[in-house]
Chain A
Amino acid sequence: MPLFAAPGQTDALMSYQSRYDHWIGGEFAAPADGRYFENPTPITGRSFCEVARGTAQDVERALDAAHAAAPAWGKTSPAERAEILNKMADRMAQNLDKLALAESFENGKPIRETLAADIPLAIDHLRYFAGAIRAQEGSLSEIDEDTVAYHFHEPLGVVAQIIPWNFPILMAIWKLAPALAAGNAVVLKPAEQTPASVHYLMSLVGDLLPPGVVNIVNGFGVEAGKPLASSGRVAKVAFTGETTTGRLIMQYASEHLKPVTLELGGKSPNIFFDDVSRQDDDFYDKALEGFAMFALNQGEVCTCPSRALIERGHYSDFLAAAIARTERMVQGNPLDTDTMVGAQASNDQLEKILSYLEIGQTEGAKILTGGERLDLGGELSGGYYVQPTIFEGDNRMRIFQEEIFGPVVAVTRFEDYADAISIANDTLYGLGAAVWTRDGNTAYRAGRAIQAGRVWTNCYHLYPAHAAFGGYKSSGIGRENHKMMLEHYQQTKNLLVSYSAKAMGFF
């Protein structure tokens, strides 16, 4: 049970600076109007650094730097860019523990997750796009004997990326890797809840990139995110967040006729057919872990399996085992490797979760376990901890329809296959889903029938590069984690070439 020393303590693996400016043109740049905001860790609620409070002036400065860097960067060979991405990955791998500590401390998530998932996935993601850009080919179409259409991939130029707070480093890399591989310069705004860990990442890898290729502007959405998203100087906006801001970003982009990619969350169904309980074996154990995945990252995952649909036949037994599994989760200091469930990322998230625990009960849902804020005592008393909570209710209830973004799962039963699909699809969202069954045919049919971009089949919460990730319905536009994302960061140039000396004959 090693307990990592918190950043700033004498024996800590890494420490944060006491202040972070913007990162523009390869160096720190103070905010134009000189203001900063405090950055607390959710572990204790206490501030550990201050961060530049960016405004439109800072965004313009970052765009200047990005536009200065983009032409040369866009002309580098795929091999050069791939080498840089691979070097970034190597540097991150050499500093994996430090990055894991930085992300856990800023976000409140258990360090066992950042050590085993967030940072290794980020590293692999860079390597994947380093490989993908090397392997990407344009195409040619033979129109007729003397006419050929050539299709080239070209970078868009300067792109804007707005990063969420739930996986501050991993989500930044999800967006940076394809954009950089494709040859774009980036202005990136981290979430104001987690603004520092990306700067720590840049302190490790920033020297590998030409100045101005990656620029970071910190600040609040309304003050820094809006001027970035609404700028006519960006060729594309990539955003992960929620529906209203997603619509607003599309509205801004429409003013300049610019493309957007959006990842906007979900209310993902986790479906357990009767045959899961046919045997008490490894698979049954795996399915119970699959149920418990609602508490991964304290439920602060867009694909949180926040609706569990359990078939009638094994409903009571499976649910009892799932409750027992949930009650064995270890909650505590996120910097302890034994801790499975850490702190919610901010006070307002905590308050929102508590408000949903209330409306759930008001609507008649029954709390089977958890249901309350947790006080872990000592210096953790100021942190934002919620017990993993299982509700039993009906899919029409709001706790089944809205993303709570906490360690809360809403359970209901279904009668048969058709009922399962009907409940699964009765949602505004379509990001993730899972099907658990020992029957291959059922797994396939259910997976195809569920309206969601990712259907985990006999697994959950895997995010490997090379598996496309993105939403149906109100869950967004675009597919990340896959080489197809390259095209969201590229223009297609068509050269339509005639090799004939003869006039067409019209004039």
Chain B
Amino acid sequence: MTAVPDAERSPEGTLSRVAVTDAAAELMRTLSAKHGPLMFHQSGGCCDGSSPMCYLEGEFRVGASDVLLARLAVPGVEEPVTFWMGGEQFERWRHTHLTVDVVPGRGGGFSLEAPEGVRFLIRSRLLTDAEDAVLNR
């Protein structure tokens, strides 16, 4: 069993499926100051897909088919940033831990960060046995 790095625990110390890099957190602060509360929905498929899409909270209407993976507490962002994924897609991702990062880039559906010349990106690793035991029990 591998220990979970502290950085990937939520502020309450509980395990989370989703972490945020410093650069991504900084971008979320910029975007939330400019636009308001934020949400993510993980996309699949073509072109700009397989990437997290960042919207104003509520812009994308989630439904019964979606799974809430995390409510990200980002320092400097008032509201928690929700991270969603379609349920069928989640079944194929649930054994992995996701880290929201950001890279120079352009475009990406209607995601809020595209005009800033950057793109959110998911980095993944396998859940540790300890995480799996808690998160997928």
A pairs with B: yes
> A-side interface residues toward B, CB under 8 Å?
37, 53, 164-166, 191-193, 220-223, 225-226, 229, 240-248, 251, 263-266, 300, 302, 346-349, 351-352, 355-356, 358-359, 362-363, 396, 398, 401-405, 428-429, 474-475
Flag B41-70 by CB within 8 Å of A: 1 or 0 each.
Answer: 111111111110101000111000000000
Q: Is B9 an interface residue (CB 8 A)?
A: no
Are A244 and B96 in contact (CB-based, < 8 A)? no
- Which of B59, B103, B124 is within 8 Å of A351, CB to CB? B103
**Is B5 positioned at the interface, with any CB of A under 8 Å from its CB?**
no
The reply to whether A404 and B46 form a contact with Cβ atoms under 8 Å apart is no
Q: Interface code B31-46, partner A: CB below 8 Å = 1, 0 otherwise?
A: 0000000000111111
Q: Apart from A352-B50, A355-B123, A474-B88, list 10 A-B contacts with CB within 8 A.
A: A222-B114, A241-B48, A241-B109, A243-B89, A245-B48, A265-B45, A352-B121, A356-B50, A359-B125, A428-B44
Least distance between B84 CB and chain A CB atoms (Å): 9
The one of B44, B110, B121, B126 that contacts A248, using a Cβ cutoff of 8 Å: B110
Residue picked from B60, B88, B108, B122, most chain A C-beta under 10 Å = B108
B86 touches A243 (CB 8 A): yes
The residues of B with any CB-CB pair to A shorter than 8 Å are 41-51, 53, 55, 59-61, 86, 88-89, 92-93, 96, 103-112, 114-115, 119, 121-126
Kindly identify which residue among B46, B89, B115 contacts A265, using a CB–CB cutoff of 8 Å. B46
Q: A164-B47, A221-B111, A302-B47 are in contact. Are A244 and B105 (CB under 8 A)?
A: no
Cβ A244 vs Cβ B43 within 8 A: yes
Q: A242-B49, A243-B49, A245-B48 are in contact. Are A348 and B103 (CB under 8 A)?
A: yes
CB distance A398 to B46 under 8 Å?
no
Task: Please tell me if the beta carbons of B105 and A405 are within 8 angstroms of each other in the complex.
Answer: no
Q: What distance in Å separates the Cβ of A36 from its nearest Cβ neighbour in chain B?
A: 12
A434 to chain B, nearest CB (A): 18
**A-B contacts, 15 listed (Cβ < 8 Å):** A53-B115, A166-B47, A192-B107, A222-B115, A242-B51, A243-B86, A244-B60, A347-B104, A348-B51, A348-B103, A348-B105, A352-B51, A355-B123, A398-B92, A474-B88
Complex Cα distance A401/B94, Å?
13
Which of A226, A264, A355: most chain B CB closer than 10 A? Answer: A355
Q: Are B123 and A192 in contact (CB under 8 A)?
A: no
Per the bound structure, the CA–CA distance linking A247 and B55 in Å amounts to: 13
